[in-house]
Structure 1
């Protein structure tokens, strides 16, 4: 059963029983992602790490050329 079919079945049951209709799938996705991001920033602050720009710094480190080591002698 797909998520859409399950939602339609839940909606039908709720209406038959006189209960409030459940929210549509994907209704609160933005809110969940925003809260998850804020929680990660909060944990970074508690751990003493910078709360912003960490992904950009990691990407820049990954993309920047590494200095070549000179062979000894």
Structure 2
């Protein structure tokens, strides 16, 4: 039984009992991913490592290189 079939079964059972239907599958996925990200950031801070992401740093360096040394909102770097 996949998630959709289980949801339909639970919705039918809730309707028979006069209860509210359960949330659809995938409704809270984004919230769970955000909580996981926040928890990982918290663990990094507790371990004494910087909480900034490596991906964001790498992308900002790439953007600075592609824009000719200029960073968004930052000073102009000499070439």
TM-score, normalization by structure 1 = 0.71
Q: Deviations for 1:14-51, whole angstroms, at most 9, x for unmatched residues?
A: 01101121100000000000010001001100100011
Provide structure 1 residue ranges, at least 5 long, that are not aligned to the other structure.
Answer: 59-73
Structure 1 or 2, whichever has the larger Rg, is 1
- TM value normalised by structure 2: 0.66
RMSD: 1.7
Q: Which runs of 5+ in 2 are unaligned?
A: 59-79
**Partner Cα distance (1:52, 1:45) in 2:** 10
State the secondary structure of the residue aligned to 1:22: coil
Instruction: Choose between structure 1 and 2 for higher RCO, CA contacts under 8 A separated by at least 6 residues.
Output: 1
Whole-angstrom distance in 2 between the partners of 1:43 and 1:15: 42
